[in-house]
Amino acid sequence: MKKIYIMAVLLCTAYIASAQTLGYNDVGVLFSKETINGTARYNGMSGAFGALGGDLSAVDVNPAGAAVFLNSEFALSLNLKNIETNATYYGNKEFSENDVTNLSQAGGVFVFNNSYKNSGWGKIALGFNYSIVNDFENQWIAKGNNNYPTWIDDPNDNSIQYLNSDGQYFENYTEGKNDKYTFTIASEYNNNLYIGASFSTYDIESYQRILLEEYNYDGSGNNLEASLIQELLTYGEGFSFNVGLISKPNDNIRLGLAYQSPVWYNLAEDYLDYDLEVYVSNTNEVISDYSGINAFDYKLRTPSKLTGSFAYIFNKQGLISVDYIHKNYSNINLSGGNFVSENNQFETDLKSVGEFKIGTEWRFDALSLRGGYHYEKSPYKAALDSDAIEGYSLGAGYKFRGGKLDVSYQNDTNTSAYNFYPQYNNINSSELDFNTSKVTITLVLNI
């Protein structure tokens, strides 16, 4: 009889144990994403810093910005983030909220004056910065009734079929982050040209756990409750390099250009295909099955990034800065296994996208006020306009003897879809609406 139970469970598994967790194409896009996540001054201007420099997070965008620093300094930043998710599934809406706190940035830059000034080369700057490229912390649920039961067979009685649905429940939990460590060298020439180069290493870990439940009945008083758990842990290391320059044609205009190479990742995954339970009311039994953990190693290459920047300086009163970033997501590539179909899908489903950032800062003695706007289109060709990430930022800073204290607020919105029945074309995805708020506090000390 036990063998019959296991065979019945495996039969049910065939209905549903397709990839509800992120597939390789989803992981490729997720690990290629970069968020605006740096110092409070940088965040307060929505990251529009490519032509300005003089900020440790700006150096991650354009390494030439390290040479703009006048003095050595150290910065430490703390994030407090709130994520609100509305998940709509067949007319039913569920609200989820999560709060995340982390150390988002820490680093320093050391400025050395050049004793050979007749050469035209001025100061030299060496920098190190830790930052979070992206964090994956969130949890949301979706409920509804698609009226399409996929668990229809009774494990004990083949004459009973559960062809009616009382609804479905889906829970998605994610955690982890992508840490970046950047080492920079930069210098200035004739006080109007800044050049720099950097090398970055990455430490990435992403965990996802999904729970899918169905509640079905046969119309004769018999009920079936089925639940499936899948887990995916992906982790590894990577590296990239970045080169850039900032030109100062006159006292008011700044021009910046930076190229960031692809990130080359070596990744490993531990994957739980299914942890399954089926309950049937006619026998009051719970039948379970467990697939065990599968492991796999592979490589990922993300797209390169080109950033063009412009800034106008209003003497010592204020500034306006604009960044435009170009990234071709169709260049994502997987290797180390049979990824022919996945790489073809990158080329057919993804596209080049632009990211626009604009920020401003105005100074009033020791007080500075900031604001910004940013917009990033979705890399998917079939995406909706609302899938783009759009947001604004506000910030303020206060200088004191020996340093300054900065604070910023950011708000981003975007939509997305999650299909937890990918093997059934007639079942709709859950529509997700994200609203992300973040407060950043940065302490800067002169050293």
Structure tokens at 430: 């859950």
User: How many CB atoms sit inside 10 A of residue 125's CB?
Assistant: 25
Give the chain's residues under pLDDT 50: 1-11, 13-15, 17
CB 163 within 8 A of CB 147: no
Burial label, 364 (beta-carbon count in 10 A; 0-12, 13-18, 19+): exposed
Q: Distance between CA atoms of 58 and 325, rounded to whole angstroms? A: 14
Q: Distance between CA atoms of 363 and 395, rounded to whole angstroms? A: 12
DSSP category for residue 67: G
Q: Where are the beta strands (DSSP E) in 261-317?
A: 264-280, 285-290, 293-301, 305-314
Q: Please name the residue that has the structure tokens 């106008």.
A: 312
3-state secondary structure of 89: strand
pLDDT at 210: 95
Distances (CA, A) of 307 to 3, 148, 199, 209, 326: 61, 48, 17, 35, 7
Handedness of CA 447, 393, 179, 125 (dihedral sign): negative
Indicate the domain borders of the chain: 2-446
pLDDT at 2: 43
Instruction: Return the ∠ at Cα 401 (arms to 406 and 63), rounded to 5°.
Output: 55
Burial label, 53 (beta-carbon count in 10 A; 0-12, 13-18, 19+): buried
Question: Strand pairing partners for 287?
Answer: 278
Q: Distance between CA atoms of 361 and 39, rounded to whole angstroms? A: 14
State the DSSP H helix or E strand holding residue 26, giving kind and residue range, or none if neither.
Answer: helix 24-32
User: How many CB atoms sit inside 10 A of residue 221's CB?
Assistant: 8
CATH entry 2.40.50.100 includes domain 2-446: no
pLDDT at 14: 46
CB 234 within 8 A of CB 297: no
Q: Please name the residue that has the structure tokens 């074309």.
A: 425
Q: Distance between CA atoms of 297 and 153, rounded to whole angstroms? A: 37
Q: Distance between CA atoms of 194 and 68, rounded to whole angstroms? A: 7
pLDDT digits (tens, 9 = 90+) for 212-255: 999 999 999 999 999 999 999 999 999 999 999 999 999 999 99
Which is nearest to 37 in space by CA: 444, 344, 412?
A: 412
3-state secondary structure of 313: strand
Q: Distance between CA atoms of 227 and 249, rounded to whole angstroms? A: 65
In the chain, what is the greatest distance between 2 CA atoms, to the nearest angstrom?
A: 94
pLDDT at 153: 86
Specify the pTM: 0.93
Which is nearest to 271 in space by CA: 2, 7, 19, 74?
A: 19
Distances (CA, A) of 272 to 4, 163, 231, 298, 335: 23, 28, 5, 17, 22
Tell me what percent of the residues of the chain surpass a pLDDT of 70: 95
pLDDT digits (tens, 9 = 90+) for 337-362: 999 999 999 999 999 999 999 999 99
Structure tokens at 82: 């709130």
Instruction: Let me know how long the chain is.
Output: 447
Q: Distance between CA atoms of 101 and 135, rounded to whole angstroms? A: 11
CB 45 within 8 A of CB 359: yes
pLDDT at 117: 62
Question: Strand pairing partners for 111?
Answer: 125
Determine if residue 58 is left, alpha or beta; phi over 0 gives left, psi from -120 to 50 gives alpha, anything else beta: alpha
CB 352 within 8 A of CB 332: no
pLDDT at 206: 97
pLDDT digits (tens, 9 = 90+) for 248-298: 999 999 999 999 999 999 999 999 988 888 999 988 989 888 999 999 999
